[in-house]
């Protein structure tokens, strides 16, 4: 049945920066068919079911640009630690023990319930067992960009980076044509994936027109490690490997210098800002205002 949502305010994406009063939204066959003045739509669809939302602002669904949804089941585990200790001594061992397909399914269901409650209708995922995540997304009616995970150690999902890539693309092919899903390649970080495979991922990204979703410059140690191991800062190294372009979703970015920001702007890289995570792990502060001023797309 056609439906009219009649809120106090409608906040559209386009045009930007406006709030409409006395407007309505029409839904036909499960899709938004019209947004317009309330009186006009009431006359256009007199038989539609009317849902009065007199104290509400109706906005587009929010998008969570960086999730490890199954880790909702690890919330509160190993608090008050820096990233390196948190990952190596606590999270990775716990995942090795517990994070099988059922864990991923259940954790994703919990995360999706919380996202829906908060108005999030689409999320950008980066975790193991992407097949289980995809199935839950379909069952719940959400939308997601699902990362094909790559990391240089064994998990319950895969062992060896060739297997990570092979199994990931098998999942993408299995769910091909599903309108709720899109895909990215999700190497964990530049310190947990070898340069040869990062270059291969850059080639696959170009070949298949897939985003690359990766933690980058989250902690200061990454800079020290990259300089000592490769003689370059992480972003310069990423540039040499072919990763810096409009398909890169660079997550955290809490340790930027001026040359980094200039390079990000020049290469049209997308930055994903995660203030809550950066605060939890004392990782640092992203130079958000400087990035925006430089014209970098920040989400």
Q: What is the 3-state secondary structure (H, E, C) of the chain?
A: CCEEEEEEEECCCCCCCCCEECEEEEEECCEEEEEEEHHHHHHHCCCCEEEEEEEEEECCCEEEEEECHHHHHHCCCCCCCCHHHHHHHHHHHHHHHHCCHHHHHHHHHHHHHHHHHCCEEEEEECCCCHHHHHHHHHHHCCEEEEEEEECCCCCCCCCCHHHHHHHHHHHHHHCCCCCCEEEEEEECCCCCCCHHHHHHHHHHHHHHCCCEEEEECCCCHHHHHHHHHHCCCHHHHHHHCCCCCCCEEEEECCCCCHHHHHHHHHHCCEEECCHHHHHHCCCCCCCHHHHHHCCCEEC
Percent of the chain residues topping a pLDDT of 70: 100
Residue 209: which pLDDT band, with cuts at 50, 70 and 90?
Answer: very high
The tens digit of pLDDT for each residue in 67-85 reads: 999 999 999 999 999 999 9
The tens digit of pLDDT for each residue in 266-286 reads: 999 999 999 999 999 999 999
Residue 63: which pLDDT band, with cuts at 50, 70 and 90?
Answer: very high
Kindly report whether the global pTM for this prediction surpasses the value 0.75.
yes
pLDDT value at 30 more than 90: no
């Amino acid at each position: 049945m056609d439906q009219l949502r009649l809120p106090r305010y409608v906040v559209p994406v386009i045009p930007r920066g406006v709030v409409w009063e006395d407007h309505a939204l029409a839904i036909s066959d499960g899709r938004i068919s019209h947004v317009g003045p309330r009186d006009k739509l009431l006359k256009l669809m007199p038989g539609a079911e009317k849902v009065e939302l007199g104290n509400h602002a109706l906005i587009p669904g929010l998008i969570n640009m960086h999730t490890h949804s199954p880790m909702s089941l690890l919330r509160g585990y190993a608090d008050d630690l820096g990233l390196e200790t948190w990952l190596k001594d606590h999270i990775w061992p716990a995942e090795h023990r517990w994070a099988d397909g059922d864990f991923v399914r259940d954790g994703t269901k919990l995360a999706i319930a919380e996202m829906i409650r908060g108005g999030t209708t689409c999320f950008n995922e980066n975790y193991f067992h992407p097949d289980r995540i995809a199935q839950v997304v379909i069952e719940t009616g959400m939308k997601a960009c699902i990362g094909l995970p790559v990391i240089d150690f064994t998990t319950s999902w895969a062992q060896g980076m060739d297997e990570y890539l092979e199994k990931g693309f098998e999942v993408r092919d299995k769910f091909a044509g599903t309108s709720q899903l899109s895909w990215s390649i999700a190497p964990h970080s530049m310190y947990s994936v070898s340069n040869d495979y990062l270059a291969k991922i850059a080639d696959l990204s170009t070949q298949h027109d897939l985003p690359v979703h990766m933690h980058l410059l989250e902690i200061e140690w990454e800079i020290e490690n990259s300089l000592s191991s490769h003689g370059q800062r992480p972003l310069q190294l990423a540039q040499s490997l072919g990763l810096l372009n409009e398909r890169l979703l660079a997550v955290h970015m809490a340790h930027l210098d001026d040359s980094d920001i200039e390079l990000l702007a020049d290469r049209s890289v997308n930055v994903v800002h995660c203030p809550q995570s950066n605060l939890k792990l004392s990782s640092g502060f992203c130079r958000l205002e400087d990035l925006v001023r430089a014209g970098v797309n920040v989400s």
